[in-house]
Every structure is written in C-alpha cells, then in structure tokens.
Chains A and B, each alone.
Chain A
Amino acid sequence: MRTMRTEERSQLAEPPNDAGAARRRRPRPRDDRRAAWLFLVPALAGFVIFYGYPTVRGVWYSLTDYNLLSDPTFVGGDNYAQIVRDPQFWHSLGVTGYYVVINIGSQMLLGLLLAALMHRLTRSVALRAMLLLPWLVPNVTVGLLWIWLLDADLGFVNHLLKALGLGTVGFFVSPDWAMPTIGLVNTWAYTGYTALLLYAGMLQIPPHLYESAALDGAGELRMFRSVTLPMLRPVLALVLVVSLIGSFQIFDTVAVAAGGRGASSAIRVIYYFIYQQAFQYFHMGYASAAALLLALILGVLTVVQLRLLRASRSDLA
C-alpha cells in the first residue's frame, strides 16, 4: 500500500516530456502484452463460451421458427413482427416496469438512507454485516419465506392483521397487491447490498468537505443534500444502472409465487413470459426474439441513464 502511494507520487511528480525522466527510466525487458493476453484468456474463454456463443445462437434462433425438437426453419423478421403486435408481450413489459419502479424506487431510497446513517452515525461492522444478511439468502428461499409469512389464510402477517382488527390481505394472490408485494420482498432482500455499495461510495468523499460544511453551519440534512448527493453521483449512477438491469431480470420470486399453476397475469413479468414461450410452449424462436428485444431496451435505458447522470465524470476531480 505504502509503496504504491510512493510510486504514484513519484509518477505525479514527473512532469511530462521531461528529458531527465527518459534517462532514468530503465529499458523494459520485454513486451507485457503477450502476458496480458494470457491472463485474459480464462475470462475471455468464459465470456465467449457462455455469453458470446449463446448470444449469437440466440440472434439466429430469433430469426427462425424453432420448437427445440425439430430443426429451426428460417422465417426472417416474422417473430419480431409478431411480438410487437403481441399484447401479452407489452403487458408483461408493463408489469415489469411497474415492478422496477416499485423495487428500484424503494430500494434506492432505503439504501441511501441506510448508507448515510452508516456513514455519518455509526460504522459498526456488525451492523453492516447484518444488513447484508437478507442478500445472502438464496432468492427462492426468500420467496418461499415470504409466501408463508404473507399467505392470505395461513400466514403470520395476516394473523397479526386480523388480531389488530384489520382485514386480511391476499398479498401474493390479489392482482392489486401481488406486484407491489413481490417488489417490496426483493427490496427487503437487496437493500443491504445497495446500501453497502453506496456506503463504499460515500467513503470516497473527502472528510474535509464535511468539516468545512459544518464550519459554515450546515446541518446533517443540508450536508446530505449539498455534499453527499453531488459527490456520490457517479457511484449512484452506477448502482442505479446495475440494480435497474438486475431488477428487470426479476424471475425467481415470480416463479416461486406462481407455484406450479402458472403466474397470474398480474405478475407475469417479461422474463416469465420469455421462459413460458421457450420452455412451456416450446416457441424458442419467438422467445429468443423477445429476449433480444429486452436486451435492446435495457441497452437503451442504460445509455440514457449514464448520459443523464454524467456517470463517467466525477466532481471530485
């Protein structure tokens, strides 16, 4: 750590185009590029085999009529033409959007709050570890846990509601409640993780900013608004983009909530739609086209967000 810092400092100290610098630099024994490639090979191989190749196949399948069993037949853009006219596709996109708004909205707000508390109030390691606990539980287990807790008839939460004189709620079964319930269950599972990422970002903010703000008489709220938030922007943008993409990929909680009976239309998110088309109806070509459209939509969303939040530029520099 220390040596690295010294190196950094000496590098920084070197003015560019200094003749003395060239003299002092030792001749490089060999080209590192070959070694670099060697180090890249494992990751690259994994990427090509598990992402690149399937993606190319997916693109091909999306242009075919393929039921997994017979050979695919080329149909050109038919799948795409059909999808944009498929109300189920748009419905499931809408359902997913609704979920993402609920999930990301609550998750980011709660995460920010928790991170700020950890940053300014207590830095207890035990507390941080506890926040992460729900994130460590496998998604299917989270789903099953909450399905039992929130069951309309036999669940503990409804038992409490009833004891308090409030009516019971069919959290997972009522079309009005199902999606918000799933969204908040996943918020419960992921907020700790989001908070930790944001907290790490907050640690990068120079403490002297807070000191001067305090000297100027700013309270905690004002500091949060005028120091923390602007300084955190690039990290915030990254966390937002990553969790948004993750949130769009909601599947397991829905599949668990659906049980063996198939998800009701109120919770049929886009991934569930694709899964059903591919592995229940055996419309592999159609499912691939839907998956590619989704990737396209996510790509556009990501670019727009990064642009809007100017994520690549930091106010710290």
Chain B
Amino acid sequence: MNTTKRAGLALLALSLAGTLAACGSGGGQEQGGAAGGTVTIDYWLWDDKQLPAYQACADAFHKAEPNVTVKITQTAWAQYWQNLTTQLAAGQAPDVWTDHGSYYPQFVSSGQIMDIQPFVDRDKVDLTQYQEGLADLWVKDGKRYGLPKDWDTIALVYNTTMLAEQKVKPAEMADLTWNPTDGGTLQQVIAKLTVDENGRDGLDPAFDKTKVKVYGFLPEWGDGSQGQNGWGDLAVANGWTYLDKNPWGTRYKYDDPKLAQVIDWYKQLIDKGYAPKFDKQSTLGRDAVLNAGKGAMSFAGSWTISTFLGPDAEQKFALAPMPVGPAGTRKTAINGLSDAIFAGTEHKEEAWKWVKFLGSAGCQDIVADSAVVFPAIKTASDKAAAAHQAAGRDVQAYLGPTKARGETFLLPITDHGNEISQIVQDAIQSVVLGQVGTAEGLKQANDQVNALFT
C-alpha cells in the first residue's frame, strides 16, 4: 500500500514537472539556442505533398548554415489560418510562414509581417528571376512582405477515353475557342462529350437532358470571389477586369455585364443538360465526379496535377490549354505564394537567410525535382516541367501561358478578402439557382463588396 502510494506520488510529480517543462519550452528553447550559438527557425506550411521537398530544402540550408536549424510544421489548409492567427495573437507565431494572397492583407495591416525590402536591397536579390508579376504581389506602399515561392495556373482537364469514344481528336483540344454567345468550339466539344442513358450525345436532337449519364462539363460554384477555377478566367478572356487596380484596389466591378455574360453562358450549359444542375450536383468535389466517370471535362488548377495525372487517378486524363476568348487570347489566372517573416521574430537575420534561400534557385530547384508545384523562378519552373515530363506527365498546358505574352492575369489582392469571397460566392450561387436575375444579383453583391471599403 505504502509503496503504491509513493509510486503514485512520484508519477504525479513527474507528470506535473513534465507539464511545466512543456509549458516553458517555447521560450526556453530559443534562449538556450541563442546561448549555444545555434538558432532554431520555426517554419509553417500547409501542403503535405510539398513537405518532403521543403524538408530537403531545410536540410540543405542547415548544411550551408550549420548554426541555423529549420523546424517545419505542417498543418492542413482548413486549420492553417486559424492556428496561425491564434498563435500570432498569443505571441507564439512561427518565425516564417507560407503566405497566401487572400490572407496576407490582414496580416500586413495589423503589422505582423516584417518588411524585407531593406534586406532585398542589401543582399541584391534578383527580382527578375521570378515569373512576371509574382514579386510585385507582395509589395505595399514601397514595403515588401515576401519573396515568391511558387505559382499555379489553370487548364482544361478531360477524360481521354471519353474523348476517343465521342470521336473528338486531341488535336482539337489544343485550339479551342470560346465566346459567351454560342460558347465557340469549347461548347461543341462539351456537347459532344455529354451522353445520355441511351448513348446519344448532346448534339443529337433526340438527346434526353433529363437522363444524363455523363456531363460534358463540370463547373465549380464554390469558387469564392475570384472564380479562379472557371468563371473568373473566362470573364477576363471576355475583357473583364476584377477591380480598378491590382493589388490594393478598392473598387470591384462585379456589376460589369461582361461578367454577367459568362455566368449566363454557364447557366445555359445547365439548361441544355451539359452540366449538372446546381442543386443536384455532387458535394464531393469535381475530382470525385470526374474520377467516377460521371463528368468528361472541367477546369483544374496546376496544384491538381497529381490528382488527375498521378497513379491514383481512376480514369485516364489529359490537359489542354484554356480556350481562346473573344479578345483573341487565352487567359488563365496565375496565383503565387510567398514566405512571410513574423515581425516579432527574435531571429530576424536567420529568418531572412532562410527566406532568401527559399526564394533562391538553391531551394526552388529541389522543389522542382519533386514535381509537385511550379517554383516561382523561371528556370526552376522549366526544371519542374521536365521532371513531370520524365514521369510521363504532359503539363505544358500549365507552363505555356507563363511564357506567352498576356495569357496570364493576377488574382486580386485587397483588404476584406474573406468577406468578399463569401458575398460573391453567395450571389453567384443564388443566380445559378435562379433565385435572382444575373445582373441584379451581381449588382447587389458588388454594392455590398464596395461598401466594405468605405
């Protein structure tokens, strides 16, 4: 009895000590690190697929700077920003984190990100090595809040088996055209790829739109305020611009008829049975529907390469570039991420060294070889494409627009990103459901959005 009691007490004491030690470790580690001449930099990212590549970068960095160790923490996208925000609020933020255009204005306006312009000037970082426009996204009022790390673009993904069954030649896919009036050759292909239960395609007069077996096209309606996965790209190809200036504009133009035309074009796809009705579509995501063989084609971002061209894809897919719009060019959104340094970090110099390394060919070539994303440096982008090619994946549809003049556009970066996202997404969904007219719904949303800036 007595020994048990003593053992219990010892255990209790131990666990208490353990808890106390755990509580104190945050501050203690850093102090201990500084005293010993070594520094640990906390680095956050959200993509588990990219974790191995960045771990390799961290190892390479440690080899070059033996005094600095980078500790990477990966948190899924769904929790990433909440965790980051609460850590910032608690003063326990990571020294460096992967940053995104929708969230970063919030951090800039609350003074959480360090201005790296002085470091960039001092170390003469070559900003022209990056894909055009990416570096400027992270500048506000002459201050720089990050170096570009990667980019993504949009392309058409289609089921090659279905294409062959419906006798559409892959060569046709490379030169598709689109306009909001009759949909151009894109709509012809969509119609041909749509098949009803009797095997008739969408161009057949006897096509039964109430019994569709395979939809020719799957739209994305949960696409925020940017429509990156479809309506935004087509609207820009139609001559639309999101707002007065980008980044840091303050007047959005969702009431522009050029955008309404695009939404109406989508609606007629649904009316004709070429695309699923909004209230009868799967909530499991377009990739699930495409993989189940119930859809033939959709727009997909370059971050989905491994989903559609990887070994886990249940159908055979291939990529085609965006269609040529009424203005005479293809348009795809290009979006990039950056690495931000916490304004309150105790290791400014070391954090900068790490960010500089992340933004250099040294790390981006490592990332390129892993062939998961396209690094921001142009030469590294080519390396990534070559790595994909070597693995038998043709990703030229994503890379091509970055090399052609005027085929890419930058997504808007403004304040109130998340609120705008919900307002516009709600409005577009109501329009597609027929609860409100297209022009009217978009006008209301636009007024709400612009009211946020007053």
Contact = CB atoms under 8 A, between A and B. Distances in A.
Interface string A44-72: 00000000000000000000000111100
Interface string B103-122: 00011001110000000000
B288 A262 contact: no
Contacts of A262: 222, 224, 421-422, 425
B222 A259 contact: yes
A260 B422 CA distance: 12
Given A68-B85, A174-B279, A276-B422, A154 B106 contact: no
Given A153-B294, A173-B280, A260 B77 contact: yes
A281 B85 CA distance: 11
B35 interface: no
Given A67-B110, A260-B77, A264-B426, A147 B283 contact: yes
A69 B283 contact: no
A154 B279 contact: no
Given A153-B289, A154-B292, A147 B88 contact: no
Contact of A264 (B88, B416, B419, B429): B429
B284 interface: yes
A282 interface: yes
Contacts of B278: 173
A69 B279 contact: no
A148 interface: yes
A154 B422 contact: no
Interface in B406-430: 416, 418-419, 421-422, 425-426, 429-430
Nearest to B106: A282
A151 B282 contact: yes
B85 A282 contact: yes
B276 interface: yes
Contacts of A172: 283
B351 to A, nearest CB: 19
B279 A175 contact: yes
A153 B426 contact: no
A10 interface: no
A152 B283 CA distance: 7
Nearest to A168: B280
A248 B107 CA distance: 33
B419 A281 contact: yes
B279 A68 contact: no
Contact of B426 (A169, A265, A281): A265
B110 A173 contact: no
A134 interface: no
Given A151-B282, A151-B284, A280-B418, A69 B289 contact: no
B307 to A, nearest CB: 15
A177 B283 CA distance: 13
Contacts of A97: none
A120 interface: no
Interface string B47-88: 000000000000000000000000000000110011001101
B220 to A, nearest CB: 9
Nearest to A69: B110
Interface in A252-305: 257, 259-262, 264-265, 276, 279-282
A50 to B, nearest CB: 16
A261 B85 contact: no
B89 interface: yes
Interface residues of A, number: 31
A69 B85 contact: yes
A147 B283 CA distance: 8
Contacts of B292: 153-154
Interface core residue of A151, A174, A264 (most chain B CB under 10 Å): A264
A173 B85 contact: no
Nearest to A262: B422
A151 B110 contact: no
A270 B144 CA distance: 39
Contacts of A147: 283-284
B281 interface: yes
Interface in A164-196: 168-170, 172-177
Contact of A68 (B89, B282, B416, B429): B89
Given A68-B85, A154-B289, A265-B426, A175 B282 contact: no
Contact of A261 (B89, B222, B281, B288): B222
A170 B279 contact: yes
Nearest to B223: A261
A259 B283 contact: yes
B433 interface: yes
B418 A69 contact: no
B281 A148 contact: no
A177 B86 CA distance: 35
A281 B279 contact: no
Contacts of B112: 69
B281 A153 contact: yes
B304 to A, nearest CB: 14
Contacts of A169: 280
Interface string A123-155: 000000000000000000000000110011110
A68 B284 CA distance: 33
Contacts of B284: 147-148, 151, 153-154
Interface in B394-453: 416, 418-419, 421-422, 425-426, 429-430, 433, 435
B433 to A, nearest CB: 7
A46 B279 CA distance: 46
Nearest to B435: A175
A172 B279 CA distance: 8
Contact of A257 (B280, B281, B282, B283): B283
A151 B284 CA distance: 7
A152 B429 CA distance: 17
A154 B106 CA distance: 39
Nearest to B79: A279
A11 B85 CA distance: 60
B88 to A, nearest CB: 6
A317 B7 CA distance: 51
Contacts of B88: 68-69
Contacts of B85: 68-69, 279, 282
A261 B285 CA distance: 10
Contacts of A174: 279-280
A282 B422 CA distance: 14
Interface core residue of A70, A153, A265, A276 (most chain B CB under 10 Å): A153
14 contacts: A68-B89, A69-B85, A69-B110, A69-B111, A70-B111, A147-B283, A151-B282, A154-B289, A168-B280, A173-B278, A257-B283, A262-B222, A262-B422, A279-B82
Given A67-B106, A153-B282, 6 more contacts: A70-B110, A153-B276, A153-B294, A173-B278, A265-B426, A265-B429
